[in-house]
Structure 1
C-alpha cells in the first residue's frame, strides 16, 4: 500500500495551480463512471460534483491568493493487496480482474475500500502536529475510487513501443484519489502536508502554535493499517515502510540482490549459449535488449515471497 501526496504543479507565473479553484481536478477525477464511481466523504457515500467544488473552493478563509487551497492524495494498493481485499470481501480467491466479479461484488469491494480510505484520512489528520488532536471529522475532503489506470508516456512499456499512451493497464488497478482542503472545517487551522518539520512552535497573535506534518508517519500507519485491518502479510516489494529502515537502505539491498542474480544468470548463459551471434549478443548487447532483460529479471525477483531486508 503506497499513500502519496501529489505535489502541486506551478503555472507559467510560478504560482501553484492549487492556489485557485479545484474545478479542473474535480472534473478530471469525475472521468470514470459505473458501480461505486461517486465522490464520497467521511459521512457520505455519494456527493455531487458541484458540491465538491463549491465546498472546497469556499473553504479558504485567511489564506492568501498565492497559497495552496487544497491538495490531492492517493491510496494505491498493489495488485496482490487488491486480490487479498477481494477475497476478504467476496470469498473469491486468485481474482486477476474485476470483470470476473458480479456487479454486487464490485459494489461491496469498492465500499470496503472507501471505508479503508476513511480510516486513512483519520490517520492523515493525526499526523499533523497541532495544539489539539485532529481526526478526519476536522477535515474537509472528498474521495473518489477508480478501477482503471492508463499507460502514459512515462511508462517503460510506452517508451519501448510495447504499449501506446492511453491504453488500459492490465490486472487489478483499484485505487483512490482524495481532494482535501488546506483549511480545517472551522477555517481556523491551516493544514499543509508540505510542512515537513515536526515539533516546531511559532507565535501567532501572541499564542504558541504547533506546526508540521509527518509524511512518513502517515505513510507507515496507512501501510500497517491495511495489514492489521485485513490480515494481510506484505511481500518484500511492499515493505518500503517496515520498521524504521530507510528507503535508501532497502534500495541498496535489493539492488545488490538484483545485480548478483543478473550476473549469475549472465554467467550461466555464457556457458551454455553457442554460436558467434549469441556470444556477440552477450558481450555486446543492444541497449534495448539489456533494458528488457533487466526489467524482466527485476520483476521476477520482486515477485519472490522471501524478504530481501
Structure 2
C-alpha cells in the first residue's frame, strides 16, 4: 500500500470551535509513554522511551508546545462564522513496507519489527524522516488547492501543526478483537508510525478559506474580470504524496502498492481488477482475489 493521506474534517473533536480537545487528544501518547517509563526497570529502555515523546512540528519548527498550537489555530479565524469549520485534521499513515524501508535507511538492517528495536539515535533519525515527509505532504496539500496565483505556494503559507505517533491500539471493530485474539486497548504489534496534522481553515494571511473536504476538485470561477480556482482533489493529494515518498526516500514502489493500482482494485470493474491481479502476482494476491469475489457477489445482489 501507499501512504494514505486523509483530510478529515475533524478528529476526536468538533472543528467549529476551539481545537483544544483535538490537541489534548494528541497528547495521549506522551502520557502513555510517561506511564511506561514509570513501570520500566531497564535504563536503556527508559532512555529510548524518553526519546519517543513528541512535541508538535510546523513547516520550520520541531519543538512546538501545546499552548502555542491551540492559541495559534484558535486565533486564525478572521471572518469565519460560528458555524464555519475552523480547522481540519489530516492523517498520514504508512504501509509496513514503507516503514521498513525508512527504518532500513537509518539502521542498515531489514529485521526491525518495532520502534523498541531501535537505539535512541536511530529512533530520532527515523522520526526525523517522518517529519521531513510530513512537511512535503503539507507542501502538496497547499499546492493541491490551486491557489498559487493567490500566494498559496507551499506548506509555509499554511498554519498547521503536526505530531508523529508510533503506537496504535486495537478497537472493538478490529478482526483481532472480534475473534478473541486481542482486547480493545491492546497495543498493535509491529511498526505503527503515523502522523496527525491540525491545519487551520485559513491560510497564514487569513485571506483564504481552505477546505480539503469540499466536493469541488478543480473549478474555475470569475469575479468580474478576475479568474480564480477552487477545489481540492483528495485522490490527487494521495498521488502527490506517494510520488514525494518515492522520490524523497528512493523507494522502488512495486506496482501493486501504487495508488493507481490500489484505486482500480477498490473501485474498478471485475475485468480491470482481474487484469491487475494476473499481471501482479504477490503474496497478498489471494486476499485480493477474495475481495474480488466478494465484490462480484455484492454486485449480483444489487
The normalised TM-score by structure 2 is 0.77
Counterpart-to-counterpart distance in 1, 2:275 and 2:18: 43
Contact 1:240–1:250 (Cα < 8 Å) also in 2:
no
Contact 2:58–2:162 (Cα < 8 Å) also in 1:
yes
The yes-or-no answer on 1:19 pairing with 2:36 is no
Contact 2:8–2:91 (Cα < 8 Å) also in 1:
yes
Could you report, residue by residue, the CA deviation over 1:185-226 in whole angstroms, capped at 9, with x for unpaired residues? 010001100123234244569854421112111110101211
When the two chains are superposed, the root-mean-square deviation of aligned CA atoms in Å is: 3.1
Contact 2:238–2:259 (Cα < 8 Å) also in 1:
no
Paired residue for 2:259? 240
SS of 1:18 mapped into structure 2: coil
SS of 2:237 mapped into structure 1: helix
Counterpart-to-counterpart distance in 1, 2:158 and 2:25: 22
SS of 1:40 mapped into structure 2: coil
What is the aligned counterpart of 2:212 among 171, 179, 193? 193
Contact 1:145–1:176 (Cα < 8 Å) also in 2:
yes
Q: Which has the larger radius of gyration?
A: 1
Paired residue for 1:179? 198
Contact 1:40–1:144 (Cα < 8 Å) also in 2:
yes
Paired residue for 1:66? 83
Contact 2:10–2:87 (Cα < 8 Å) also in 1:
no
Paired residue for 1:253? 273
Contact 1:146–1:175 (Cα < 8 Å) also in 2:
yes
The normalised TM-score by structure 1 is 0.76
Deviation for aligned residue 1:134: 2.2
SS of 1:32 mapped into structure 2: helix
Paired residue for 1:306? none
Counterpart-to-counterpart distance in 1, 2:276 and 2:230: 39
SS of 2:183 mapped into structure 1: coil
Deviation for aligned residue 1:250: 7.8
Deviation for aligned residue 1:89: 2.2
Aligned pairs, number:
262
Could you say if the C-alpha distance between residues 255 and 76 of structure 1 is closer, same or farther in structure 2, counting changes exceeding 3 Å? Answer: farther
Deviation for aligned residue 1:184: 0.2
